[in-house]
Structure 1
Amino acid sequence: MGIAVALGLGLGLGLGLGLPAAQATVIGTMTRAQPVTEARIDTLAATERATWRDYLARSRALMERDKAALAAERKSGAAPAEEQARLHGDSGMPLKQPPAWYASPEARHVADNIVSFQTPAGGWGKNVNRTGHLRRKGEHYAPIDDDPSGGVILAAKGWNYVGTIDNDATTTELAFLARVVTAVPGAAGDAGNPYRKAFDRGVNYLLDAQYPNGGFPQVYPLQGGYHDAVTYNDNAFAQVADLLAAVAARQGDYAFVAPELAARARAAHERAIRVLVASQIRVNGQLTGWCQQHDALTLAPVGARNFEPVALSSSETSRLLTLLMRLPQPSPDIVAAIDAGAAWLKRVAVYDVAWTAKGENGRFLEARPGAGPMWARMYDIGTMKPIFGDRDGTIHTDVNELSKERRDGYGWYGTGPASALAAYAKWAEKRTAASR
């Protein structure tokens, strides 16, 4: 299994681990990811086309329904001013409060906000503080950002991220609703309860959003561009898979879930795991890790925003490995995927450098003997060297060359994979012990 990739960007690599270079090390520019279209579907095997065409038609119909519902509300007059506060911190949906708190007026208000802003398709927008006011008639379902900086692809002006799994959206709303349903007397057994109805609609939204091959787009109904890619970036896919597994298990906060919905969630989770294993990148016959985005139709690695080029990603690979290691009875191909992903993380760890702040000059990579391990966020697929993208779409091998805004505004280096490797060591030890 795995997507075979023989060549990466590769050319013109300078001083390796992103240390200050004597000359520019721009090695290319971003290539836009392709959306899901009829023309691209026509290139698939004949046996796959009908299912994908049905999916695309359903997505378009749902977007038109969302738009029509909002337009109908606005016929009576001007739309209310958008007052939903964009996030600058907490989302207002804490998931670690004592169980009794979720029956409190404070929690009920958050749940009411969530219900009021659910789209007709069943999802939610992102970056909203849910402690705010309830949605007013004619108010947009999601905060709208029509600024295309960073390569944002708009379905239409004023229509952006209307239903998404980006930035923890939808999965967090569903997890919060589940806690409220469980805590509020009578809610779990009453299918007509607004919290349970919103939860069921939200889970069905995720099931509708899942691609025929098991992947999930970042935005649904489909928005186009890189948003249509199977999105591992920022752990979006992993969080959906985790939630589907919890729904399928019908335990704890999810004990109220109807058996039929749980069965559908279980099947969707299984499909998600299959596409995850199938999309792992194979280079020269050797399995490695995963990229932030993979093409919806081919599973080939694709770029996203201007500063997110095609690359293997240590952060996303770490989270996906954690997802796979949680499976109670992994098949041989899943075990192979885990072993290979962990081995790749070990190979690409960097030492003797530090990612540090330099006052007004922002963050830089500098030599620091004995430091490490840490990991670059992105690695060129062909060379396994760190690469970095800038706002203008250029791709660099030296992070210090990036504009200050991008050096400071993105997690180019981190130590997160160390936790995944520690978990892998325990997982491998347990498997060894079980086989004796």
Structure 2
Amino acid sequence: MPAVRRLVPLVLALSSSVFAAQIGTIPPAESLTATRVAALPAGSRPAWADYVARSDAQRAADRAALAAERDGLATLPPPPAGGHGEASMPLDKPAAWYGSDAALRVAGNILSFQTPAGGWGKNQPRDQPPRLRGQAFVADNNSKRATPGDYDLAQNPLWSYVGTIDNDATITEIRFLARVAAQLPGEAGEPYRQGAQRGVAYLLAAQFPNGGWPQVWPLQGGYHDAITMNDDAVVEVMELMGVVARGDADLGFLPASMRSAAGAAEARALQLLLTMQIRIEGRPTLWGQQHDPLTLLPASARNYEPPALSSSESARALIYLMSLPGPSPAVVEAVQGGVATLRALPVRDRAWVKVDEAQGRRLVERPGAGPLWARYYDMKTLRPVFGDRDKSLHDDVNDISLERRNGYNWWGTGPAKALAAYDAWAAKWVKTP
């Protein structure tokens, strides 16, 4: 990719504070609304209009279900506790453990917090007590730092992330329930099989007409409506759809019709993944942290997360593509382009470290260190970009506030795993002239 190679000296230069400057302001992501859908070409309008209408109806049904539970209660239960949800649902235990009392407590808690739509919230330990009548379906996920106008401020503070794929939510619950059900054949395992099946049905219902998935469904608005590559959410749903289609990971009990639908869902998502890959000078490069569901362009998220290409999420997408059996020419081209871009971008002889309490984390010179990749790159120039909580966009990480430098992983080694896997994959699938 000649265009990318020419950019490398500029990328290195921009790591010096000599060139630091605010280069822009991070705009808000657009919600997926009926108004936007009405502006689509006539041919694609009906599918999107139906999707938005289904989302609105399901949100109303979810809220009505909670309101019905609360009818007649003198006192409402407090919201459930937040915390590290995924750690409470281990998926790497010996098979027999999933029939233990400890696993059944987690599974029972999972079932109690399943939303009427069939999904689950995030950041919620599943080894805590089960949900009470009238209790919120999800823990309080509202940002404690949000102020008026903040992109992370929930439109409804009492209804946020009610069904999500963020932070491995819903995906992990489905997989855990399937493991438990496998240890309980017959009637004893039926509630867990039904819970997993409802979870898969939820993901199928949440899929966009073009094959992507929003971060939150029913739709919540703002960046939550975007096709969410962040934290590998869409890729992990795609992988789960493949698992369901094959009947792997203890999910073989699902109906044949659902398994077929899951295979079709993965195929649509794969085509979308290839379409969303940003091209520079005609060559495929990387993906954004999230993409607008209609334009497919990278979109903003939180105040400091710009519409840009994301190295870590792109690396995870490449690992998924390299896992596919018999990759098509389009998949091979996507992998080659993505790997070439990642190979051209890292800085060396730099370290991302905490200097001291006053200076916090900074990118500093350190001979022999690296390679390091920036989290975000401009989608046209491939220059590293960095956002701050005040929505300002910068070309040097050392130029942003101490709070954001300390609170976000702006530089990292995430792409290294994808690059390490590439040579063996290429030896099998890339034809040499």
Match of 1:140 in 2: 136
Residue from 18, 37, 41 that aligns with 1:41: 37
1:51 lines up with 2:47 in the alignment: yes
Kindly tell me: are residues 14 and 351 of structure 1, through their superposed partners in 2, closer, same or farther at Cα, counting changes over 3 Å? closer
Match of 2:229 in 1: 232
Match of 2:378 in 1: 380
State the percentage of identical aligned residues: 51
For residues 258-290 of structure 1, give each alpha carbon's deviation from its aligned partner in whole angstroms, at most 9, with x where no partner exists.
Answer: 211100100000011011001000122221100
Q: CA deviation at 1:196?
A: 0.9
Match of 1:337 in 2: 334
| Letter matched to residue 237 of structure 2 | V
Q: CA deviation at 1:432?
A: 4.7
- What is the distance in 1 between the residues matched to 2:177 and 2:15? 44
Tell me, yes or no, if the aligned pair for 1:291 and 1:311 is still in contact at 8 Å: yes
- What is the distance in 2 between the residues matched to 1:23 and 1:255? 57
For residues 126-168 of structure 1, give each alpha carbon's deviation from its aligned partner in whole angstroms, at most 9, with x where no partner exists.
Answer: 0000000100000000012444355225242311000000111
For residues 35-60 of structure 1, give each alpha carbon's deviation from its aligned partner in whole angstroms, at most 9, with x where no partner exists.
Answer: 11122112222111001000000000
- What is the distance in 1 between the residues matched to 2:370 and 2:102? 44
- What is the distance in 1 between the residues matched to 2:344 and 2:166? 29
Equivalent runs, 1:5-16 vs 2, <5 Å: 16=13
Match of 1:31 in 2: 27
Tell me, yes or no, if the aligned pair for 2:25 and 2:392 is still in contact at 8 Å: yes
Give the aligned CA root-mean-square deviation in angstroms: 2.1
The number of equivalent residue pairs is: 421
Kindly tell me: are residues 78 and 159 of structure 1, through their superposed partners in 2, closer, same or farther at Cα, counting changes over 3 Å? farther
| Letter matched to residue 397 of structure 1 | D
Kindly tell me: are residues 78 and 334 of structure 1, through their superposed partners in 2, closer, same or farther at Cα, counting changes over 3 Å? farther
Tell me, yes or no, if the aligned pair for 1:18 and 1:365 is still in contact at 8 Å: yes
Tell me, yes or no, if the aligned pair for 1:113 and 1:133 is still in contact at 8 Å: yes
Residue from 369, 372, 376 that aligns with 1:371: 369
Structure 1 unaligned segments of length 5 or more: list them. Answer: 1-5
Kindly tell me: are residues 177 and 79 of structure 1, through their superposed partners in 2, closer, same or farther at Cα, counting changes over 3 Å? farther
Match of 2:122 in 1: 126
- What is the distance in 1 between the residues matched to 2:273 and 2:399? 34
Match of 1:98 in 2: 94
- What is the distance in 2 between the residues matched to 1:142 and 1:18? 41
| Letter matched to residue 161 of structure 2 | Y
Tell me, yes or no, if the aligned pair for 1:16 and 1:385 is still in contact at 8 Å: no
- What is the distance in 1 between the residues matched to 2:108 and 2:85? 20
Regions of 4+ moved over 6 Å: none
1:425 lines up with 2:392 in the alignment: no
Kindly tell me: are residues 283 and 182 of structure 1, through their superposed partners in 2, closer, same or farther at Cα, counting changes over 3 Å? same
State the TM-score, normalizing by the size of structure 2.
Answer: 0.93
| Letter matched to residue 138 of structure 1 | G
| Letter matched to residue 36 of structure 2 | R
Kindly tell me: are residues 421 and 187 of structure 1, through their superposed partners in 2, closer, same or farther at Cα, counting changes over 3 Å? farther
- What is the distance in 1 between the residues matched to 2:137 and 2:289? 27
Tell me, yes or no, if the aligned pair for 2:215 and 2:225 is still in contact at 8 Å: yes
Q: CA deviation at 1:347?
A: 1.0
| Letter matched to residue 134 of structure 1 | P
- What is the distance in 1 between the residues matched to 2:78 and 2:355? 38
Match of 1:168 in 2: 168
Residue from 34, 51, 57 that aligns with 1:61: 57
Equivalent runs, 1:306-345 vs 2, <5 Å: 306-345=303-342
- What is the distance in 2 between the residues matched to 1:295 and 1:89? 28
- What is the distance in 2 between the residues matched to 1:79 and 1:235? 39
Tell me, yes or no, if the aligned pair for 2:82 and 2:140 is still in contact at 8 Å: no
| Letter matched to residue 181 of structure 2 | V
- What is the distance in 2 between the residues matched to 1:181 and 1:49? 41
Match of 1:411 in 2: 409
Match of 1:268 in 2: 265
Match of 2:400 in 1: 402
Tell me, yes or no, if the aligned pair for 1:91 and 1:127 is still in contact at 8 Å: no
- What is the distance in 2 between the residues matched to 1:293 and 1:250? 29
SS at match of 1:47: coil
Tell me, yes or no, if the aligned pair for 1:30 and 1:395 is still in contact at 8 Å: yes
1:116 lines up with 2:123 in the alignment: no
- What is the distance in 2 between the residues matched to 1:427 and 1:415? 20
194-203 vs 36-45, which moves further: 36-45
Kindly tell me: are residues 266 and 153 of structure 1, through their superposed partners in 2, closer, same or farther at Cα, counting changes over 3 Å? farther
State the TM-score, normalizing by the size of structure 1.
Answer: 0.92
Kindly tell me: are residues 110 and 175 of structure 1, through their superposed partners in 2, closer, same or farther at Cα, counting changes over 3 Å? same
Equivalent runs, 1:282-293 vs 2, <5 Å: 282-293=279-290
Tell me, yes or no, if the aligned pair for 1:17 and 1:350 is still in contact at 8 Å: no
- What is the distance in 1 between the residues matched to 2:85 and 2:195? 25
SS at match of 1:359: coil
Kindly tell me: are residues 89 and 158 of structure 1, through their superposed partners in 2, closer, same or farther at Cα, counting changes over 3 Å? closer
- What is the distance in 1 between the residues matched to 2:44 and 2:75? 42
Equivalent runs, 1:138-287 vs 2, <5 Å: 138-147=134-143, 148=146, 151-186=151-186, 193-287=190-284
Q: CA deviation at 1:398?
A: 1.1
